[in-house]
Structure 1
Amino acid sequence: MIEALRKHHNDGRLYERRADTTVALLQLENLSQEQLVERAKIRAKTDPLYLSSECLLHHIRQSRRNNSDRFFESLFRVLLARVESAATLRSEIYRLPNGKVAITAFGTKVREYVVDRFMVRLMADRDGYDERLDYFEVNFAHAIAALRSTAKSKAVVEERRSQPLSANDDEEVSAEVEKATGTFDPFDVSRIDDENYRSRLLAAIKNLPEKERHVVALIFKEYPIESNDPDKPSICRLLGCVEKTVRNRRDRAFEKLKAALSEEEIDA
């Protein structure tokens, strides 16, 4: 017997799982815990034995009845990996010089928010019953997307608060900024191969405001600021900005990177 969900719509109706989810849950009723764990490990959604996240979550919630921590932990690891993947903004992923993939500070904030909020709901459900998880059994992808959207909005607000009021893209970069930056090139080939320097540089780039960080990332990938070739993408074209705006963002970013790297060298 599949336990009904408890959360109500505003009009009083109970939330109901989608028909395909209900059918799948009925088919899974006769499987052992070991068989369910093996099904959960299947990653390819095209595999006919793939366990949907709605079904996976249902069995995780039901595991509190069976008092089986081992079964819970096995399924939980799989579901957590799915939540982390769904919470990761692909636009905030970039590749490090060593070939490894990393995520920006903004993307990290969004992912951490989504995972944290989901975990709060799941732990509360383990202690009793948390109706906030019911919609995840109805439409898991949409529920995560809603958390992700909220996380993005909050991260944007925080980022705007952290940006100095004087950083206007349309204003000329001050002489002080130009003087401070000088001929500084954070991607100087004589230093970029040094693992310690590269690590400190990437950490400093992650702390830049979003707009400046995007410009720096594209410069690192050797995109030209402007291009007369319509088939050759430029930073201006990719970001939808005029050349002056891109150069202002670059100069401000380079000034901050120079200051950050200099401070770390002094502290070392």
Structure 2
Amino acid sequence: MAQANLIPRIGLGTFRLKGQEVIDSVSSALDLGYRHVDTAQAYENEAEVGKAIRQSGIPRDEIFLTTKVWYDRLEGDDLIRSLEESLDRLGTDKLDLALIHWPSPDDEVPMAETIGALNHAREKGLTRHIGVSNFTIAHIDAALSVSGGEHIVTNQIEVHPYLANRRVVSHCEEKGLQVTGYMPLAVGKVMKDPLLQEIADAHGATPAQIALAWVASRDIVVIPSSTKPEHQHANLAALELELSDDEISRIDGLDAGERIADPEWAPQWDE
């Protein structure tokens, strides 16, 4: 089960970043002090992420590197092969965290096979830790109930002020899992929010920083994506902000169940 501070509190998300853009983004983030980088097979940028990490000169063991297995590689032997391919593209011999990116569509691949293979990857030394992403309460319970499930450390899910995702967050916490929140800035929507702007003004901060501080105040790891060094720096600084109980309560009121990541292969979400 999850251990305190196992995953760095903030990481750099790389979704939608390709080519030189992702190399520059990872390079500047590492230069600013980030030590947690999140990628995925489906992002098609693992080679560039790995290149930026190597070029940084920072020892590999000081960087927490996550990738995710796509939903068409969830069968036992293929899952292992997919992670070996990821390691080859990343130019490293071990991941810090390997996640199942999405549960098997329509639960086609048995959970026991997928989690068993993921844990076998951990036993083989391909990754230090294992976890899941976009898992519902039912999927979490299924994953934890099969052999290898006891080693799952996190569920990475969408969390921002407009999708608090409270039921899943609470369930993960009850089960001892760290929650990692992706899209914490709601793909930029937080920047235009009057309430977040009002609270930001009171702190001499930006609405984006307030959104990140709110997610972090819930003990959720945040992985905002950013290509500009000044925004990356501001995102790091957001973790130092202290929101009052009243401010947190007011931001809580923005929750409207607005889900951004909802592809056709998504599971039946918990409301």
Q: Relative contact order (alpha carbons < 8 A, sep ≥ 6): 1 or 2 greater?
A: 2
Q: Above 0.5 in TM-score?
A: no
TM-score (norm. length: structure 2): 0.23
TM-score (norm. length: structure 1): 0.23
Larger Rg: 1 or 2?
A: 1
Higher percent of residues as strand: 2
